[in-house]
Structure 1
């Protein structure tokens, strides 16, 4: 039935979502977002690679990882290694070129207005995740840390600390929920790639946003519209509700 609904919604360019009608459907408290191709339109490692002159090699590995063809940790290791010797200024250049997904700013403002806590958990890199956190008024940001040379000028082609892969994303979602005192039934996760499946499955409501086919098939619900504002529709808010939230800003 789920596959039939996906096929039906795809053919009509609309979205169909089935949710268990219980008290937690209306009482979500925490929203956890993926960053690349979810809150922002780019894949940041591809953008860094573009400036480093290794775009083709890196994007091919990214695509394979997002489709679940190769392990995320291995794909990240391979991609970061290709960035060895790149000037750290590239992070600032990429940050200044980031494009937020349509509806991202409105959705985050609206959710904050409604009392939600918000987080970004990314397989990308912490300087950019912190920028997104600041721009959207999020409460938490977790991502990978790139290692830099001793003089602080160049990327070494390595990362520092635990890799934020699919399993780590799900663990961090649970940690944030515990810190905020909410149950997993009260958590929403939004993402697009194969490495988001663990956190989409852990959350009470997992939303595949313009996601890869495999992710759409495995996620609880999906949104295939350009704007993130439709996350509010899945929470039961009407167009009139959204207009009221919009008018407060």
Structure 2
């Protein structure tokens, strides 16, 4: 099966980190945050139950988002550039769909040859002095089922869409009629092994190309 629209999660799929957890570690809240993130990614709690809580505890400022943007690129998963170059050369429509912070993901997307319009993630807002103000509370990606909503909007009636990711929120894309490839090369989750249409636990993202092309 060949797909017209190919969507990737970001954290633990394109980059080896979980952005929100890294921001938490930076201010000494690491353990608490990673427990919350894992609970959401394993499907134990709905995303919206923890989204606001995490950001209100961390309150990331503009500087910390710039730091995280660099870290995403520094910790890129093996084979990602090769995968994007291969798919772009074939004229595929590529997107990043993430519950992460959009401003931190955009430089990674740019590095991979994507435009801002090809990135769906959650915007955060700053005060004039660069301190944290709020996040986009209307974003579907800050709640459960949001990735399915975004996939549905990208899927035209004739086309076919595949979503690649490591968490329970990525599996929700099936609700939009997407095929889902679970990527366990960074974090191997049982719930994803069970629910994905295809699964790869290889450390390189190149391993998913066989299922996409």
Counterpart among 170, 185, 195 of residue 169 in structure 2: 195
8 Å Cα contact 2:180-2:197 kept in structure 1: yes
User: Partner residue of 2:23?
Assistant: 48
Higher RCO by CA contacts (8 Å cutoff, separation 6 or greater): 2
Q: Which runs of 5+ in 2 are unaligned?
A: none
**Which whole-Å CA distance do the structure 1 matches of 2:113 and 2:17 have between them?**
20
Query: Structure 1, residues 58-95: CA drift from partner, whole Å, max 9, x if none?
Result: 111111111111110111111111113x4320011111
Please say if 1:169 is aligned against 2:144: no
For 1:62, what is the secondary structure of its paired residue? Answer: helix
**Which whole-Å CA distance do the structure 2 matches of 1:30 and 1:107 have between them?**
14
Moved over 4 A (4+): none
8 Å Cα contact 1:83-1:155 kept in structure 2: no
User: Partner residue of 1:92?
Assistant: 66
Question: Which has the greater radius of gyration?
Answer: 1
Aligned positions, number: 204
**Which whole-Å CA distance do the structure 1 matches of 2:158 and 2:81 have between them?**
24
Please say if 1:104 is aligned against 2:80: yes
Using the size of structure 1 for normalisation, the TM-score is 0.76
Aligned-CA RMSD value: 1.7
**Which whole-Å CA distance do the structure 2 matches of 1:159 and 1:145 have between them?**
6
Using the size of structure 2 for normalisation, the TM-score is 0.88
User: Partner residue of 1:81?
Assistant: 56
**Which whole-Å CA distance do the structure 2 matches of 1:212 and 1:152 have between them?**
40
Alpha carbons of structure 1 residues 109 and 161: separation in structure 2 relative to 1, 3 Å:
same
**Which whole-Å CA distance do the structure 2 matches of 1:74 and 1:101 have between them?**
29
